[in-house]
Every structure is written in C-alpha cells, then in structure tokens.
C-alpha cells in the first residue's frame, strides 16, 4: 500500500518541476486568454522559483486564443484551420506570459516542439541541452506543441502527453497537471457529482482506467484519460504526477508544500537511464512485433532480450536500429526497443531459434531481435 504522506513529502522536495496548464483554465470561448488568471499563476510560480526550484511551463491556449482573435464561433475542424488559429493565437500567448513574468523580474523563453523533435535522437539531445541551458540561466521555458506545422502524424495529440515527455526529457522530479476538475474522481463526476477524488494511487494501477470519464472541453483535445496516460509516461522516469484543480487559490504553493491537493499518481519504478527514457518516450514506433505468451512472460518477468523464437508476427516497415513496439496476441503494449534487424529480415526470422538466423538470412548480425539493454518494459509482469 502506498504511503501517501511519504510521497507527498517527496513532492514537496521536488526541485525540477513541469507544470502543464490546459485550455479549459487558460481560455474563454469568447474573450480568448484568461489573462488575469495567467497573472496569478505567474506570480505564484515566481515565488516558488525563490525556493531554489526550476520550473518549466507547458501551456495550451494558442488555438483557443487564435479562435477568439479571429472571431470564429467554433474551433476549426481542418488541420490548416487549426494551424492558422494557432499561428495567430501564439502571439497572444507569448505576450501574456512575457508581461506576467516581467512584472516579477523573470525572463521567459518560448519553445515549440513536435513529436519529430523528440523522436529523432539528435534533436532530442539538442532540445534537452537547450532547455537545460535556459534553466541554468534562470529563464522560465514556456513550452507548447508547434501546432502551426504539426500534422496528425507528428502531433503529440494533447499537451498532457507533451508535459510528460518533457518531464522524461529533463529528468524532472514532478509533473503537475492543472485542470478544471479537483483531480481524478473515483467515478465520472458528470454522471455522479458526489464521486470522491482519488487522493493517492500508483500511476500504473489498472483500476484507474475504470475511473476515467471520457471527453474534453470545448477548446481542448485532452480529457482525464490523457492525464492518467501522461502520469504513466512520467512515471517511467521516476517522476510523480499531481492532477489538481487550477482554480483553487494558491494551488501550486499548496501542492509543493506537500498538502493533500488533487490526485497524486506515484511512480513505482526507479528512473530509467537517458537512453531508455528516449526509447520509452517514442509514441509512434516504426513497427510492431507480436509476442507469444512465453516471450511476454520472459520479457516482463525476467528482463531478458527478445529472441526471434518468441515472435509470431511482424507489422510495419522498419530498419535496423528503429524503435519498435512489442505487443501481446491481443495487441496490448508490452515493451519497446531498438530492433537489430529490418522488418523484411524480422519476417523471415519470426519463430526461429537464434541458431537458425544464419540459415534463414545467410548471416547473423545479433542473436536477438531486441537486446535487453535497448528494451523498455511498458507492462507489469502477468
């Protein structure tokens, strides 16, 4: 059973914190950005920086601000319409944060990312180096998805996921997701208004899935499901996540004082090393390897390499060194890693022993399809 007091104390000691604020809090369908609310949060963040913390802010709101500035009645439904609204709204978002933090003598930087920036290893390292340098200079990075160029193939899909990936990228201690709910409720509060808030849970607990109510706000892309998913991604690097209501007065101060605010979703694993954090963070692998039951048990329970004999099917097109996802017979994610053979080679090797690789291919690069040093387990042992 989780020791909530101990884990809240760990939250209070967090030194590097990623804060994600969603569109429902940042914007109004008519007026655009909620500037007064932004000023309040920025003042609170400025005070917390005085406690020798480093804070990165992942902010939604560009599209919603663009919708208001353009006088549109509804959020655009086309990709180009969304990109145009984001381009217009990004100007207001930058202006709002710059003015709010400048009032407290703080400097800011706008950083726009796409999934490709974190999927490519070199760009991943460059993004990490830039953000670390900004933090060392005392600058507050304001991070957003680059909606003006992102397409459905490369977009994160929601800024909750972006916040989690930034948490992994920079080995942050804590991810705070501010939303228009008090936290994760045991049941959907829109159906049962009396449903209590979950105070503390293991981020990997499958019981959380039954508590999630689907749907997002008028101007947002995410919902509670994306927040729990983000907590699970952040947990891979050993970071806790707090989901809390952003309208509560001094909410950030209360969270970082270790108070029982919102829902604390705890990381129950040790942090991954830098290479494995990058592997685990790839949300769009190049292909899939379907494992038999024996391989699933071996990978999840014993932490061994994935051998070709345990693979029943190969999906997608990939090259040697690409990130592939390992799934069970039902398609549930089990692990992902850097594959040692191309998809064409893997098809020919599926189900054979390592000793037969040379017979099938005429050569043998490695005895395993994915070496355990390049493999990250995503699911608990059965």
How far is Cα 135 from Cα 131, in angstroms, rounded to an integer? Answer: 6
Buried b (16+ CB within 10 A) or exposed e, 280-309: bbbbebbbbbbbbeebbbbbbeeebbbbbb
C-alpha–C-alpha distance, residues 118 and 259, integer Å: 34
Residue among 112, 161, 160 nearest 282 (CA): 161
What single DSSP character describes residue 324?
E
Q: Return all residues near 350 (Cβ < 8 A) that are at least 6 apart.
A: 308, 311, 312, 313, 314
Sequence-ordered list of residues with C-beta below 8 angstroms from that of 34, at least 6 positions apart, any chain: 25, 26, 27, 28
In the numeric block, which tokens belong to residue 257? 């004082």
Distance CA 160, CA 19 (A): 10
Contact 45, 20 (CB under 8 A): no
Residue for token pair 């994160």: 156
**b/e sequence 101-119, b meaning 16+ C-beta within 10 Å:** beeeebebbebbbbbbbbb
Cα–Cα dist 343/348, whole Å = 9
Sequential pLDDT tens for the chain (382 residues): 689 999 999 999 999 999 999 888 888 766 778 889 999 999 999 999 999 899 999 998 888 888 888 988 888 888 888 888 888 989 999 999 999 999 999 999 999 988 778 877 788 888 989 999 999 999 999 998 876 665 554 456 578 999 999 998 898 999 999 998 899 998 877 788 888 999 999 998 989 988 875 544 443 444 788 999 999 989 988 899 999 999 999 999 999 999 999 999 999 876 677 678 888 878 789 999 999 999 999 999 998 999 999 999 999 999 988 899 999 999 999 999 999 999 999 999 999 999 999 999 999 989 999 999 889 998 776 6
Q: In what order do the strands lie in the sheet with 108-113?
A: 108-113, 140-145, 54-59, 16-21, 174-179, 240-245, 263-266, 200-202
Count Cβ atoms within 10 A of the Cβ of residue 96 and give its class: 0-12 exposed, 13-18 middle, 19 or more buried. Answer: buried
Distance CA 112, CA 360 (A): 46
Three-state SS annotation for 75-86: CCCCHHHHHHHH
134 and 291 Cβ atoms separated by less than 8 Å: no
* SS3 per-residue string spanning 38-61: HHHHHHHHHHHHCCCCEEEEEECC
Identify which of 336, 350, 361, 371 has the alpha carbon closest to the alpha carbon of residue 308: 350
How far, in Å, CA of 165 to CA of 191, rounded?
31
**What is the spatial distance between Cα 55 and Cα 49, in angstroms, rounded to a whole number?**
7
| Domains of the chain, CATH where assigned | 4-276 (3.40.1160.10), 285-377 (2.30.130.10)
Are 267 and 203 contacting, i.e. CB atoms less than 8 angstroms apart?
A: yes
Instruction: List strand residue ranges (DSSP E) for 159-300, in order.
Output: 174-179, 200-202, 240-245, 263-266, 287-291
């Amino acid at each position: 059973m989780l020791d909530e007091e101990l884990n809240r104390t760990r939250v209070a000691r967090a030194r590097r914190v990623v804060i994600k604020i969603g569109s429902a809090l940042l914007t109004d369908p008519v007026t655009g950005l909620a500037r007064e609310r932004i000023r309040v949060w920025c003042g609170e963040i400025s005070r917390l920086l005085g406690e020798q913390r480093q804070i990165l802010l992942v902010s939604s709101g560009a599209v919603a601000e663009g919708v208001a500035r353009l006088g549109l009645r509804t959020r655009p439904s086309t990709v180009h319409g969304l990109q145009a609204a984001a381009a217009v709204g990004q100007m207001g978002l930058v202006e709002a944060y710059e003015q709010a933090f400048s009032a407290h003598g703080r400097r800011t930087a706008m950083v726009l990312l796409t999934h490709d920036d974190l999927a490519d290893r070199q760009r991943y390292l460059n993004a990490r180096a830039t953000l670390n340098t900004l933090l060392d200079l005392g600058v507050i990075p304001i991070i957003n998805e680059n909606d003006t160029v992102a397409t459905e193939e490369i977009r994160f899909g929601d800024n909750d996921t972006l916040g989690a990936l930034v948490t992994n990228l920079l080995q942050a201690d804590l991810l705070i997701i501010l939303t228009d709910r008090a936290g994760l409720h045991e049941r959907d509060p829109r159906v049962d208004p009396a449903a209590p808030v979950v105070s503390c849970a293991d981020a990997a607990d499958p019981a959380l899935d039954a508590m999630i109510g689907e749907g997002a706000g008028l101007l947002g892309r995410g919902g509670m499901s994306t927040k729990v998913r983000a907590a699970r991604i952040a947990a891979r690097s050993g970071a806790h996540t707090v989901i809390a209501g952003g309208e509560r007065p001094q909410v950030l101060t209360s969270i970082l004082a270790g108070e029982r605010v919102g829902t604390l979703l705890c990381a129950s694993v040790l942090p991954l090393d830098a290479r494995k954090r990058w592997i685990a963070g790839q949300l769009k692998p190049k292909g899939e390897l379907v494992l038999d039951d024996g391989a699933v048990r071996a990978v999840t329970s014993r932490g061994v390499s994935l051998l070709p004999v345990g693979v029943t099917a190969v999906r997608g097109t990939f090259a040697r060194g690409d990130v592939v996802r390992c799934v069970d017979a039902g398609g549930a994610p089990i692990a992902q890693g850097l594959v040692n053979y191309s998809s064409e080679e893997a098809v020919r090797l599926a189900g054979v022993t390592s000793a037969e690789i040379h017979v099938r291919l005429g050569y043998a690069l490695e005895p395993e399809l994915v070496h355990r040093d390049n493999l990250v387990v995503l699911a608990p042992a059965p």
